[in-house]
Amino acid sequence: MIESRGATLVSGYLAGAAAVKITPPNTGHRIGNLQCPALIWTGRRIWDYDEPFIDRNSNGEYNIGEPFCDANHNGRYEGIWISGGVQHHAHSVLSDIWVRTFVVSDGTHIVAVSSVDTLGMFGTDIEKARKLAKAQHANLSELIVSSDHNESSPDPIGIYGPAAQGQSADFGTTSGVNDYYIDFLTRQIARSVTDALASMKPATLGVLETTAPTIVPNLNHWPTTNRKDDTTATPPPANGRIDAWDPKVHILQARNASTGATIFTAVDYDAHVQNLGHSSDPAISHSITSDWVGYFNHDVEQQQGGTAIYLQGANGSIETPQVPSRHNADEGTIERSQDIGQELAAVTNAALPGAQPLAPGPVGSRRDLFKAPLENQLFLAAFALGLFAHRTLALPPPDTSWPLGRPAVATEVGVVHIGPLDLIANPGEAFPALTKGSHWGTDEGCPTRPNPPVPSEHATASYRWDLGLADDMIGYLLPAWGWDADRTVYVNPLDSCAFNDTSEGGHHHSLEDESLGPTAGNYVATHLAALLDRFDGGIRAANAPGRYLFADGTLSRRPYVAPFAPGGVVSPTQHAIGVVLSSGLVVMIPGVDAAGIYHARAHGVFVDFDGQAQQSADQSTRGVSLVEPGGGYPAGRTVFVSVFA
């Protein structure tokens, strides 16, 4: 356990921020110039960090089998390969990429949070940046590094490197990790911390949560949505579509306490940053760009001043969104990225006048290091090929529940505390159903795999925001009951749910091949919940088995009914009016006292996954907050409803 917690409070906070460019340089200061003379190694080099080679087929880029000068003697060719596809060598820069860092202190402890324009960084590389920053700044308590999942940036993982001639696959033949670039990136992250600390001033923090109804999410896969639009899927569910995602735009702004000038505006939102990396136009897909986050940062900084910072949330299966009110542009186009970034900035700028002061409180962080099982056969093959050049496997722990014969991946979770705000850090692309819970589970998924604890329900902070791809990158994180894959990905004869499509109700899958396996997501959720249980102060919400109650007296695991819709956002036709707990306690909304055979024994308001009160039940609803005592609970107590207990 690694812990940093402030103890001495001040009347406000100290805050600073900085943005440092991480676009790979092409200044002519080339690696290997002495041992790799250009007279011999004549291949075209665009970036300083492209290793010299001989372009035998004269196509202007390195291909597998061509001679190269291994300047750092690691046995593989290193170029700048884009994360959006295999053998996408970067040809140009459409827009610079950045690491953006904010620092906050309570007067005793300082925590830095960096957001990096990259697909996702391994913990080994993040630890190098952390050690550099702490070596330079003894007063820095902790550095948390989150990637925004930009797929138009240099490959930090290794699967998007050069491929053999004629190869058509999801990953390259050799690693796409560029050691020279990763070294540069870690130093730039540390530099951003230095610059942010140098700018630190007494500050006031403002916080708010809003929504962006003009940005339509693209929810493709179970268990983020129960839509069934695949050609092989069973008919749509009779009780309609329901989703599990976080529609909130979470905003934190720091202002100079003396002048009122903006220091930083950080926005935490759930959406993939992949539009331009997936473009069908090679002039775009082979270019470095900040994608739609760049447009967002520009417009927020233009209006607010200071440094704009986009923080990735739980983005599992929340693909490139659409903005119908703007160009309604095709995916992969620059217009689509402009639409998303500018609309999110417009929502942010319009909402900021309603920001509320963040109450002064302790600043600190906690990290929990542990091991997760690797059950994905494709990942095992990638390790064997050396694609994950900056990662090694670990021995499994002495755990009797560990999947038999499976190696381990060392990873971590964490929490950043800024007074009444928690940034809950997970090491991958977490499905919201894992971090925020859902209204379905083992009955529609795999009944023999356990439901994991819901991390947000174990927090006590007023604001509970997911921080995704943080301090590591281990791929998609799904609850075990919602994980399904074919035999090329997962083989386990002891798992009765393996290869059983009927157990998933015909739900469409495709992302499991980018995860560690069916067990890892539960490990992450369990460690996050335990971390919050141990260290989050305050009154913890209760958790009780139950169902949602409708006006006609029917019960459901779901808090609303909506017609099935293959895309867009669902529009409920019925909303729950209360909950019925297994203890017998019936809680109804104020003004309602009976429904069917049920009579209210207490009244309460619905709450979402963050424990925030709601006007009516929707897809974010997770329980109730009592407005009067009942069932042994005092007034004001929040009760999260466990619909699968």
Does residue 586 share a domain with residue 574? Answer: yes
pLDDT band at 5 (very low <50, low <70, confident <90, very high): very low
Domain membership of residue 121 (yes or no) is: yes
Task: Report the number of distinct structural domains present in the chain.
Answer: 2
Q: What is the pLDDT of residue 437?
A: 94
E-strand stretches of 183-315: 201-211, 216-219, 248-256, 262-269, 287-288, 307-312
Under DSSP, is residue 324 helix (H, G, I), strand (E, B) or coil?
Answer: coil
Q: Are the C-beta atoms of 19 and 210 separated by less than 8 Å?
A: no
Residue partners of 310: CB distance under 8 A and separation at least 6: 100, 115, 148, 266, 267, 269, 293, 296, 297
Average pLDDT of the segment spanning 547-564: 94
Average pLDDT of the segment spanning 203-215: 97
Instruction: State which of 540, 575, 594 marks the end of a domain.
Output: 540
Q: Are the C-beta atoms of 129 and 144 separated by less than 8 Å?
A: no
Average pLDDT of the segment spanning 324-333: 93
Does residue 510 share a domain with residue 563? Answer: no
Orientation of helix 123-136 relative to helix 179-198, angle to 10° = 40
pLDDT band at 15 (very low <50, low <70, confident <90, very high): very high
Does residue 553 share a domain with residue 499? Answer: no
Q: Are the C-beta atoms of 421 and 365 separated by less than 8 Å?
A: no
Q: What is the pLDDT of residue 484?
A: 85
293 backbone dihedrals φ, ψ, rounded to 5° = -65, -35
Orientation of helix 291-304 relative to helix 334-351, angle to 10° = 30
Does residue 551 share a domain with residue 489? Answer: no
Does residue 555 share a domain with residue 631? Answer: yes
Residue 604 β-bridge partners: 626
Which structure tokens are listed for 475? 């791929």
Domain membership of residue 111 (yes or no) is: yes
Does residue 558 share a domain with residue 527? Answer: no
**Furthest CA-CA distance within the chain:** 88
Q: What is the pLDDT of residue 228?
A: 67
Domain membership of residue 318 (yes or no) is: yes
Nearest in space to 386 (alpha carbons), one of 200, 188, 175: 175
Q: Are the C-beta atoms of 18 and 101 separated by less than 8 Å?
A: yes
Q: What is the pLDDT of residue 504?
A: 53
Cα dihedral sign for 336, 149, 23, 29?
A: negative
Sequential DSSP letters for 403-458: PTT--EEEEEEEEEEETTEEEEE-SSEE-HHHHT--S--TTTS-TTSPPPP-GGGG
Scored b (16 or more CB within 10 A) or e, 484-499 reads: bbeeebbebeebebbe
Residue 343 belongs to what domain range? 1-18+96-154+193-204+248-540
Cα–Cα distance list, 529 to 107, 455, 564 (Å): 28, 5, 33
Does residue 254 share a domain with residue 359? Answer: yes
Does residue 569 share a domain with residue 471? Answer: no
- Tokens 């302790």, residue located: 362
Does residue 607 share a domain with residue 504? Answer: no
Does residue 531 share a domain with residue 546? Answer: no
Q: Are the C-beta atoms of 313 and 425 separated by less than 8 Å?
A: no
Q: What is the pLDDT of residue 503?
A: 45
Average pLDDT of the segment spanning 98-118: 98
Domain membership of residue 49 (yes or no) is: no
Cα–Cα distance list, 63 to 162, 181, 204, 335 (Å): 7, 20, 53, 32
Edge to edge, the sheet with strand 363-373 lists 2-5, 363-373, 408-418, 421-425, 463-467
Cα dihedral sign for 218, 317, 430, 177?
A: negative
Q: How far apart are CA 399 and CA 299, in angstroms?
A: 50
Q: What is the pLDDT of residue 8?
A: 38
Q: How far apart are CA 266 and CA 269, in angstroms?
A: 10
Does residue 548 share a domain with residue 522? Answer: no
Q: How far apart are CA 158 and CA 173, in angstroms?
A: 10
Is the predicted pLDDT of residue 130 greater than 80, yes or no?
Answer: yes
Nearest in space to 309 (alpha carbons), one of 321, 320, 293: 293
Is the predicted pLDDT of residue 7 greater than 50, yes or no?
Answer: no
- What amino acid is encoded at 333 in this protein? T
Is the predicted pLDDT of residue 206 greater than 70, yes or no?
Answer: yes
Domain membership of residue 32 (yes or no) is: no
How confident is the prediction for the chain on average, in pLDDT? 93
Q: What is the pLDDT of residue 18?
A: 98
Q: What is the pLDDT of residues 473-514, one digit of tens each?
A: 999 999 999 898 888 899 888 888 876 554 455 666 778 999
Does residue 357 share a domain with residue 480? Answer: yes
Q: How far apart are CA 252 and CA 626, in angstroms?
A: 29
Is the predicted pLDDT of residue 25 greater than 80, yes or no?
Answer: yes
Instruction: State which of 489, 520, 540 marks the end of a domain.
Output: 540
Residue 639 β-bridge partners: 542, 624
Instruction: State which of 540, 573, 608 marks the end of a domain.
Output: 540
Is the predicted pLDDT of residue 233 greater than 80, yes or no?
Answer: no
Q: What is the pLDDT of residues 278-312, one digit of tens each?
A: 999 999 999 999 999 999 999 999 999 999 999 99
Our CA angle for 78, 80, 84, nearest 5°, is 125
Q: Where does residue 260 fall: left (phi above 0), alpha (psi -120 to 50 degrees), or beta otherwise?
A: left
Domain membership of residue 456 (yes or no) is: yes
Which structure tokens are listed for 242? 């329901």
CB count, 10 Å around CB of 108?
17
Q: How far apart are CA 306 and CA 268, in angstroms?
A: 17
Strands 216-219 and 248-256: unpaired
Domain membership of residue 44 (yes or no) is: no
Q: Are the C-beta atoms of 144 and 112 separated by less than 8 Å?
A: yes
Q: What is the pLDDT of residue 102?
A: 98
Tally of helices (H runs) and strands (E runs) in the chain: 8, 31
Sequential DSSP letters for 43-65: S---STTSPPB--TT-SSS--TT
